[in-house]
Amino acid sequence: MSSNPKDTKPVVHIPVKNVNIHPAKGGKAEQYQPRDQIYVRKVEGFFQRLRQKMNFFFMAMFALLPWIQFNGHQAILFDIGEQRFNIFGLTLWPQDLTLFAWLLMFSAFLLFFITTFLGRVWCGYLCPQTVWTFIYIWFEEKIEGTANQRKKLDQQAMSKNKFFKKALKHFCWLIVALLTSLTFAGYFTPVDELFIDFFTFNASITVVLVVIFFTFCTYGNAGWMREIMCLHMCPYARFQSAMFDKDTLTVTYDFNRGENRGARGRKQDPKALGLGDCIDCNLCVQVCPTGIDIRNGLQYECINCGSCVDACDGVMDRMKYPRGLIRYTTEHDLEGKKVHLVRPKLIGYALILVVFASLMSYGIASRVPVALDIIRDRTELARENFDGEIENVYTLKILNKSQSDNTYKLSIKGIDNARWIGKQEIFIKAASVYTLPISIAIDPYDLDEYMTDITFVIELVNSDDDVYVEHASRFFNKR
């Protein structure tokens, strides 16, 4: 340990709230204390306007994407029953699972990269839990009033006015949850049929149960659980600290500038009173959707939404103090050290992102829009037909992975004088599978060995696209 006093850091005294657990009736201590309800106060400011615009943009995308048509079909449709995913001009099948793997790994490391650079901004600006929670809070403000009015309303005895406001609020919540659930289900089933069938009571029981389930999930998460999801159920809150470093931008209270806290008049000099810039108004706590006090230091509950930044900046403006007492900053910046925007961890994440993006792009570019699967007749590997030829039976499964109807030509190579018994030119509809039973026959005098390697070939007919797929198999002779 260094003996130089300059190397020691000042001790930060964090106030701790004492929690008294009163004995319950019967003399036993109460085992569970329910959480205090958080009445989020409305705040205006740059970061809230930014968050609202981002939320509106992505909400509009979420609501409109299922309705977009492309080449006569739903542009984005994850049809689990048919085991195919349509993404505009691209149709993905279970055979394309590696593309999903690259996409998931790319998304994970993109989240790591953003978190290392900007902290937990995903939670504050883009996470569906946060977005829907703020939507529900907006309904609360419009129907029940400000945070103080909502708190007083909850403390009142039940009356006609209170019942009406509560009923209207929950009705609006349920309508938003139902529309959210129907839109979400529209990504997995044709959305136009879904809405018509659901509201005309013609939807299947499976669809109805799925819609009802996600309706109450949305209603419960955004209306009732809210910060519980962020604090106790979301794993991201737990492992995010592993990605933080001293150059990560986080919402931070400038302790050296703000302390000591205390109330004062606008015209009073805080230095003469021995005070810092924090007037201890507690607005930063009142506007926080998770109910924390950012002045207690970095906490895993913080979702980096910037509400406390806007609230504090408004107070600083009224007090005619400089903005930024609470701000997006780094630990190095608060310590007066140089901030390193480009650092090894970020470079590592960026390189991994480039690798995964390249692999995913290569997979899409090299993807052939037709697949051929060959199933041999297992009951009899080879048989002799009436013409004295050796005959092998195969079942060909041809998958048209494109979004257009195509005609394909089939052939065989690797064996001379082979005779194809069955169709060699077939028409397959878009995104469908064609099953074709065929036989290959050959004169036994043309066979030198018991087993001969052969190759089935499928080509696209009458098209400018260069589609050529080979699939290896074997031809067996009779012993």
How many Cα atoms sit within 13 Å of 395 on the Cβ side?
8
pLDDT for the residue 173 = 97
DSSP calls for 162-204: HHHHHHHHHHHHHHHHHHHHHHHHTTTS-HHHHHHHHHTT-S-
Task: Calculate the average pLDDT of the chain.
Answer: 88
State the Cα torsion 355-357-363-365 to the nearest 10°. Answer: -120
C-alpha span between 140 and 222 (Å, rounded): 12
Other CB atoms within a 10 A radius of the CB of residue 313 amount to 22
| Topology classification of domain 370-476 | Immunoglobulin-like (2.60.40)
Tokens standing for residue 232? 């106790």
pLDDT for the residue 2 = 44
- 294: amino acid identity, one letter: I
Domains of the chain by residue range: 46-67+119-226, 245-334, 370-476
How many Cα atoms sit within 13 Å of 92 on the Cβ side?
20
Instruction: List, for residues 249-263, the tens digit of each pLDDT value.
Output: 999 999 999 999 999
Instruction: List, for residues 208-234, the tens digit of each pLDDT value.
Output: 999 999 999 999 999 999 988 888 888
Taking a C-beta distance cutoff of 8 angstroms, is the pair 229, 281 a contact? no
C-alpha span between 91 and 85 (Å, rounded): 6
Q: Is the pTM value of this prediction over 0.85?
A: no
Pick out the chain residues at pLDDT < 50.
1-3, 5-33
Name which of 255, 281, 311, 279 is nearest 270 in CA terms: 279
pLDDT for the residue 463 = 67
pLDDT for the residue 356 = 94
pLDDT for the residue 145 = 94
pLDDT for the residue 464 = 66
